[in-house]
Each structure stands twice: as structure tokens, then as C-alpha cells.
Structure 1
Amino acid sequence: MKKLRWIAAALIALVMGLTAVASAPTAAAVGETYTKVTLGCGYVDIRNISSTKIEIMYGDPSADAEDGTFLLAAKKTKRVHTSRTSFIFLALDATGTTLLEGPQTTYTPQCVTAKTPKISGKTRVGETLTAKPGTWAPAGVTFTYQWYRGSKKIADATSSDYVLTAADKGRRIKVKVTGALDGYQSVTKTSKVTAKVKIGHLAASTPVVEGSATVGAALTVNPGTWSPEGITFTYRWYRSGHLINGAKESSYTPTTADLGKKISAKVTGRLAGFETKSVRSAATSEVLLPV
């Protein structure tokens, strides 16, 4: 049935003040808007913005028959998938006897060919995740990134790499990649979510006790280089392997109780999102009296 052509012909006849074909739908009063259109890559979203049910008819303006028809309830949207670069649609009343709006010509934009991005890297606090967009076409597509913790955007996480923080522990991460190219519709693809982010591991050095093992001479423990930045340290001192009560600072001054004993220190590093880590120094030589 050549619906699209004869409805278009009926419209022309009405506009020109001619008598329409008796079988054609009649035209409604001019002025009211019934539909709102949103274009996307390979689809057109048609929304009924009126307060009444309507029928939508759509297809190729040069074809003998429409591609399809559907009823659309008030305030509802339907997505029409199409490979056409252009097609027309008309809005009729629910019975299909009154032409309410149209024909409207829509143009589906030219779109880049996209891949679903992948995420590489260890899902552990302190590690770096990297978004890999894959191969998009045509050549010259530029990418932008947005990382998500669950369903929420992560503030300022808009590069291809993302360093996992304490806030990510126990959460799943995903990334949205948008490809853009002049003359083409931008396309956004979302990766799969990662496994839950695990607690991080501190990188630690073996601490070194500096100073002379002599009664009355201060010893100082140097923690060495730990990472990442921001670690806080606590200290405990030991006398031949036994904890020295109250010795909790980064320095310790041996007393006569330490004569003939060897002194060592334990350094403990703490940082939110990371496992607490403790490392013991090597022991000093036996503590002597000053000369």
C-alpha cells in the first residue's frame, strides 16, 4: 500500500487548497506540536510530547510503502533503528484517520565505527588502570575518557590512565570512552566493570639504625624509602629482641639497662586503603659504656 506517497500527496493538496483524495486522512488543526525527535547513530528516538495517543508512520520518502507504523502513548518514546541516512515520519491520531503532524524529514548522522573499550591493570589500590579503546574508524578519531566508581563519575578521572585510590577499595570500576571526528556523530562506549578493587600493598625499605651503640648516645632509625607518598610511620625499639617499654619515637637513647645488649627498631607504615606493614632493622653491636 502506497501510504507514504498518498499521504504526502494529500498534504500538498490541502496546502494548495485543493480537494484531497477521499481515502486520505484529514488534516488536524495547525499549531499543536506532537513529537520531538532525537537523532543518534543508527537510530531515531521519537517522543510523543502530546497528551493523547498517536500513530507514527515512517519510511523512505522515495519508497512505495512505509517501513513501519506503531502506536505511541502520551509522553512515551520509541527508538526506531534504521540504516537509512534519511526518512520521513508522520504523526496521525490513534485511528490513523487524521494527520496531526508531518511529514517530517529526519537525517541520521554519519557515525564512527566503535569498539567496546577494555581495561588493563591490577585492581588493587595504588595500581594504575589503563583504558584501551581498540580500533575505531575512520582514521583520525580522537578519544576522551571518564572513569566511574560503580555508577558514579570519579571527579577529574578523565585520562586514559587511572590510579586506584582508597575510595575504590571494594568497588568495581568502569570507563566510558567517547570517540569524536569532524563531520561525524560522536559515539560513547562503556567497558565492562572490573573485579572488586583489593587493598593496596605498601612498598617498604628495611630501616637502618644510625648512631653509636653507647650508653647516653642517641640512636635514630631511618625508615628508608617507602611508597606511595603520604605514609605515616610509628616506631618501636627492642633490646636484644625484647620490646623496650615506652620507646616509641624515631630516636632512642640507650641506658645502663642496655649494656651488652643489641638494639633494633621496628618501623610500621600506615596509609588509608593499604595494608599496614612493619619492617625490622638489623640490630646494632652490643651497647658499651662511653669512653
Structure 2
Amino acid sequence: MPLNSMDRRSVLRTALGVAGAAATVGIVGATPAAAHGRHRPELPKVEGLVGDRWASEFWYDYDEMSYYNPTAEMKAAVGAITAPFGGFTKSYDAWVATRKGGRYPRSWMEIIQPNRAHFELLSREQKKVYDKWYGRDPKGLVFAFQEFGQGTLFDPRRPAGNKVHMMNYTPPTPTQAYHRWHAYLQSFQLLDIDRRFWAHINRLAGTAWELQSIGNPVNDANDNKHLPRHVVNKVTAKWLCRSDAKVTAAFDVWPRPADMGK
């Protein structure tokens, strides 16, 4: 199946955050050295790995939990959540239909409310990974999403097509996965499951989407370039300052943000 239809950045990649969304200069402008505390353990070297070691391991561990080796409970929860949409690949279409139907968010709530327990399970399991790698480290988390959006984390441990920790896509079609991601982030917020936590992740997902839209990183390339730091900081600050309503409105547009780079 094409990566753009069902890639590893799926519904499960929806719970990596920190409560609150304070867009401070310190958080927005985090650099590799500033993002990581001095007391972190040194990780084993991975031959051929390119990019920040800690951020790469964070996304690697998250993929293990959510895509490559999910538990039976996780698989069952995702199956139950996506069934009303007609499968995962139809989830964004279902969300768009409710947005255009004039009854949002009530119409979307009618679909997701019966599966609240499954959403709660996803939240618990995914937050374990967040706590492991970025507990009490909001700067590091923002930095990890910035690197993800720029496609600068090449990991040779992954198979062809997935060697860069980024939102995969099948050229020449731009990825729709950020928009699917947003639909699930909205679901957590509407179900009042760690609402502030998910709202922050929604903003970070928007940040990564815009950075990827500007930089156009390539799947499996070990030499994707960083964007100028002032561009990264400006995009990050813009998204972290947005209200929930403005974040949702921004995701009504596809494939790239309407105000990209502004």
C-alpha cells in the first residue's frame, strides 16, 4: 500500500506533548544543545545515523510502540476507532464531511464518543513514550517536532521508505497524513482526554506540517537540509500562539498552509 495512504505516521502518532502551550522565546528557539539537558545518559552509537541522537531515538521508540510492534490492545483500539470511518484511510474524509456539514463538532462527537475508552487507552500508552524521552523537557519536545518536520533525522535502522523520521509521502502527491493526525488530535480534545496536552501537540503537528511544506525533505535522504533558524522560529511561534479554533481552521486547507512562511 502506498505510504501516503497508510504510513507509519498514522492515528497512533497523536500523543506526544506537554500540558500547556507557552510560546516563550526559550522554547521556540531551542537548539540541539539547549534542547537537551546536561544530565541525559549517552546513547549507543548507531552507524550511519544522521541528526540529533536523542530526537532520533525518541521517534524510533515511538514507531516501535505505535507501528512496528504495537500491543494487541493497541491494535484492537485502533481497529475500533477507525471502523466507523470505513478504515484508517477514510478517517480524514469523514472528518472533512462533518466540518462541512454545519453541525461540527456535534456530528464528529456522535462518531467518536462510543469509542472513548479506546481513545483513553491510546493516550495512556503513547504518553509513556513521551514521559520516557521528554518528560519535563518542553524545549526538547519542540525541537524534536521541528527536526521531524524538516526531515533531518536519518535512521538506517528503518526499512526503505521509512529511513527518515518525517511524515512519509508518495511523490509527487503531498502528504495528507498531517491532516489525518489533526482529526485524531481534535478527537482527544473534544473527548476531554488530557485536553491541554493534545492541544499543544496539535500546534506542534501544525508546526511540523508547515516546516515540511517549506523545506520539502525527501524520503530516505540522509542529507535533507535544515531551514534557516529564523524561519523555524517564526513558524513555531506562529503555531504555538494559535487558539484551538485557529489551528482547526488552518487544517481545513490542504495540501499546504494558506499562510505558509508568513
Q: Which has the larger radius of gyration?
A: 1
Q: By percentage of residues, which structure has more strand?
A: 1
Band of TM-score, shorter chain = under 0.3
Q: By percentage of residues, which structure has more helix?
A: 2
Structure of higher RCO (CA pairs closer than 8 Å, 6+ residues apart): 2
Q: TM-score, normalised by structure 2?
A: 0.19
